[in-house]
Amino acid sequence: MEEPKNTNGNDPAGANGNGKKDGPLQELKEKSREAIPMLLKPREGRVWKSIFRHPLDEKPRNRSLAVLQNVFLHLHPARINRDAVRFSFTWGMGGITFYLFIILTLTGIFLMFYYHPSKVVAFRDIQYLEHNVPFGKILRNMHRWAAHAMIITAWLHMMRVFFTGSYKKPREFNWSVGVILLVLTLLMSFTGYLLPDDQLGFWAVTVGTNMARATPLLGHEGPGGPELGMTAFNDVRFALLGGSIVDANALLRAYIWHCIAIPVLASIFMIVHFWRVRKDGGISGPAPMLLESESDQVIRG
Amino acid sequence: MDWAQLWKITTLPDNIPIVLILLLLPYFTWLGLKQAFANDRLIKKLESDPEMAKTHHRKVEPYSKGWDKLVHVWPYLLRIEFLVAVIITVIMLVWSILLDAPLEEPANPNLTMNPSKAPWYFLGLQEMLVYFDPWIAGVVLPSLIVVGLMAIPFVDVNPLGSGYYTFAQRKFAMITYMFGFHFLWIILIIIGVFLRGPGWMLFWPGMTWDHHRQVDEAYVHLPQIFGLENPLLMAIFGVVALIAFVVVTGGITHVFFVKKMASTYKKMNLIQYGTVQFLWITMLALPVKAVIWHMFRIKYVLITPWFNI
């Protein structure tokens, strides 16, 4: 055991077999003795410190750094208005909407493993998912109900923002971004409706896209449409469905809009939305009330 | 009476969310308005007593002495966020275990679903199709809803009520929003979900969905009520009627603005004021059309060879 190591060792005396005390084994022992306290206190080691840049002590500095130095948390400020964490003011609906989006993304990724966006196969995939895939049913259920819940929470979030006048200067633009996010949320839910390729989704999407026939100027049944040369085979509905009826192409298009295009768009708008919440002064309140007799000062200021 | 029909609609898995929103919306409206009225009372007190306004705190729930105005996000906000995430996860899990997502028969273009309903959140739009042609109900009005919502911050010149609940300081904005959302949007969804059956016919709660029900779908056009049959005269009459509607509703709104909201009106420029008027008139057109359809069976006001309104 010792022989091959001796050739590399820096102690030639050990080669005789007499110097057991100074031998490399002894050196290893000592090193491991040194290592024990290091292993017992990993927080003082190099690896830990390279990951976590500051101690965990409950000091104001560390509490701030915990938020500021974490990529997932840094959208928060280090400190916020005491009242703003109260449920009655914010209702937490914006955050819940975002959390539901995360749930939907996760369950959606799992669902994509079991789903082919093509006619006949799609429906079978859902049946297979419900009956043969472990936890498949709960996966699909959760995706569906989270989607519905997200619409409810988005509406309630919008209502809270309106009721507290939080769209007012300087947050005007962020309200508009929020409206776009609401539309994207509805579209995501709607495009997902077709994917099981069952009667429910098929007819809901048929009814929904039939309205596109009547688009003014761009639909073949809309005012000005036929005059511009619109037919069932080149109008805006054709572009949405990839055909003149809800069929294989429509399924594929719904799938790509649902799984890639709209989530990417929504993510971009979400980044802007959250960023602007911070940049426009954080959460809007509860702000001190302004009296009507003072309202003129605000406009000038 | 057949309450089983209503029960069947209500307990449809896809309709559970609308039942949920019928509970959540009143609660959160109450929660918001409760705080708004509490703030309004304090505002009234401060307005009437300038001395008090100088020193008194401007929040209903002021700070106690010794409290920090700001608290650390870690842990005071992050622990809330974590708890909410856990609670939502539990709710979603329980909901997913108890209730199965619907899966009907495979899509079949030859077998029409009757009624074929959109998901509940779009039933407001689908219900509008009863009152307007698809190009208005399905394209123009939804676009206007989106554009109108986005325009709100830019046409609302009222500097009061930013960052706190209030009703008295923003009566017009609050009433408009609640008229549009609570009244029009939600009511239309409720009608679409609970009162529409086969053939998109009205079935009151307690009525069975009768697939063979015949309804007298006779209708007239507004000009015909006045004895006009000539297409040109009918079109002219329709244009006049539409202009009259715009003038009357716009005029009433204008008088309201000048008399009741003089200070706001003064601050608005022409584009802002025009946008508010336009959106208001368009929004009012929906209930007006719904009423004249249900009461007088009037289908169109304006009839032209290209489009009808």
**What are B20-41's pLDDT values in tens digits?**
999 999 999 999 999 999 999 9
Does the residue B62 lie in any domain?
no
Question: What's the average model confidence in pLDDT over B219-240?
Answer: 85
Q: Is A159 on the interface with B (CB under 8 A)?
A: yes
Q: Is A172 on the interface with B (CB under 8 A)?
A: yes
Which of A224, A289, A299 lies at the smallest CB-CB distance from B42?
Answer: A289
B224 shares a domain with B197: no
Residue A18 confidence (pLDDT): 54
Range from A40-49, A142-151, A179-188, B97-106 carrying the lowest mean pLDDT:
A40-49
Which of B16, B117, B306 lies at the smallest CB-CB distance from A224?
Answer: B306
Position with higher pLDDT, B214 vs A173? A173
Does the residue B65 lie in any domain?
no
Q: Is B127 on the interface with A (CB under 8 A)?
A: no
CB-CB neighbors (< 8 A) of B105 in chain A: 198-199
Q: Quick one: tokens of B92?
A: 């979603």
Pick the CATH number of A85-283 from 3.40.190.10, 1.20.810.10, 3.40.50.180, 1.20.1530.20: 1.20.810.10
Q: Where are the domains of chain A?
A: 27-77, 85-283
Which amino acid is residue A231, in one-letter code? T
B239 shares a domain with B92: no
B171 shares a domain with B74: yes
Does the residue B124 lie in any domain?
yes
How many separate domains does chain B show? 2
Residues 248-287 of A with CB under 8 A from B: 284-287
- Rounded to whole angstroms, the Cα distance separating A191 from A194 reads 6
Residue A131 confidence (pLDDT): 93
The domain of B48 spans 1-54+70-211
B245 shares a domain with B205: no
ipTM of the complex, rounded to two decimals: 0.93
B247 shares a domain with B147: no
Q: What is the DSSP string of A161-213?
A: HHHTTTTSTT-HHHHHHHHHHHHHHHHHHHHHHHTT-BHHHHHHHHHHHHHHH
Residue A300 confidence (pLDDT): 43
Does the residue B61 lie in any domain?
no
Of the residues B191, B211, B231, the one at which a domain ends: B211
- Rounded to whole angstroms, the Cα distance separating B38 from B41 reads 5
Residues 81-100 of B with CB under 8 A from A: 81, 84-85, 88-89, 92-93, 95-97, 99-100
C-alpha distance from residue B285 to each of A143, A268, B82, B122, B301 (Å):
38, 36, 46, 19, 12
B81 shares a domain with B14: yes
B144 shares a domain with B116: yes
Mapping DSSP to helix (H, G, I), strand (E, B) and coil, where does residue A66 land?
helix
pLDDT band at A298 (very low <50, low <70, confident <90, very high): low
- Residues with Cβ within 8 Å of residue A68, at least 6 apart in sequence: A74, A78
> Per-residue pLDDT tens for A191-227?
999 999 999 889 988 888 888 888 888 888 888 888 8
B169 shares a domain with B251: no
Task: Determine the angle formed by the axes of helices A248-256 and A199-213, rounding to 10 degrees.
Answer: 90
B2 shares a domain with B121: yes
Residue A263 confidence (pLDDT): 97
B239 shares a domain with B173: no
- Residues with Cβ within 8 Å of residue B30, at least 6 apart in sequence: none
Residue A179: strand pairing partners = none
Averaged pLDDT of chain A: 87
Of the residues B162, B189, B211, the one at which a domain ends: B211
According to DSSP, residue A33 is labeled: H
Whether the Cβ atoms of residue B15 and residue B193 lie closer than 8 Å to each other: yes
Contact (CB<8Å) B139/A83: no
Contact (CB<8Å) B36/A163: yes
Contact (CB<8Å) B28/A171: no
